Each structure stands twice: as structure tokens, then as C-alpha cells.
């Protein structure tokens, strides 16, 4: 895990075959339909010059609860989703701050 600024690729990556950087986003109120996953969601990044870069959504799922060693739930994250996106190769090396937009069923 690394803090910003994010480079487009990283040697410290979970996939040895694909060094591109992934970003984890956390959001609420995703009303996924039965059977929907990452393919139902689109994402893009907008830089300060208003250039838009599509981001590949690789994973969408509910954040699981934290459970202690006795099996008791210590923190419940119902309604909170984790979205993993891959940075676009066409983004500049240092785009500065970007706005991330998620779109589900035509709603951003």
C-alpha cells in the first residue's frame, strides 16, 4: 500500500505480470443488481486541464466485516463497497490531483 502521488506502474505490485498501479476506492449506495460486478461500473479520472481518462474497473464488492479470533463481529461495514480501478496508461506521469467519477446505471 502506498500513499499518493501514484505512479502509473509499480514494482511493489500483487501481479508480477502487470506492473500497472491499482487504486482502491471506497463508496456507498451502490445498488448492484443480482449478478452484477465490475462490468456494471465505469470510472474515469479528470485532471486539472479537464482531460478525461477512462479507468478499468477490475473489482467491485462489499467490504466484509471485521471478525475477532472468537468469531465475533467487531466492525460492520454494511453498505460500504470497495472498487479497484487500474490507472490509464495514457495519463501523464504526474497528472496532479484528479477527480474520479464512478458511473452505475447511468448515474454518477
Convert the pLDDT of each residue in 22-71 to its tens digit. Answer: 899 999 988 888 888 889 999 999 999 999 999 999 999 999 999 999 99
Classify each residue of 48-76 as buried b or exposed e, where b means 16 or more C-beta atoms within 10 Å of its C-beta. Answer: eeeeebebebeebeeeeeeeeeeeeeeee
Q: If pLDDT is split at 50, 70 and 90, which confidence band does 96 have?
A: confident
Q: Is the pLDDT of residue 106 over 70?
A: yes
> According to the model, what pLDDT value does residue 31 have?
82
> According to the model, what pLDDT value does residue 101 have?
96
Amino acid at each position: 500500500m502506498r500513499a499518493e502521488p501514484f505512479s502509473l506502474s509499480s514494482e511493489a505490485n500483487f501481479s508480477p505480470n502487470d506492473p500497472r498501479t491499482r487504486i482502491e476506492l471506497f463508496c456507498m449506495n451502490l445498488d448492484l443488481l443480482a449478478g452484477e460486478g465490475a462490468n456494471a461500473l465505469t470510472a474515469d479520472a479528470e485532471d486539472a486541464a479537464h482531460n478525461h481518462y477512462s479507468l478499468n474497473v477490475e473489482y467491485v464488492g462489499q467490504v466484509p466485516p471485521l471478525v475477532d479470533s472468537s468469531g465475533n463481529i467487531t466492525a460492520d461495514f454494511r453498505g460500504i463497497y470497495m472498487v479497484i480501478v487500474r490507472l490509464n496508461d495514457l495519463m501523464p506521469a504526474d497528472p496532479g490531483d484528479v477527480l474520479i467519477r464512478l458511473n452505475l446505471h447511468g448515474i454518477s
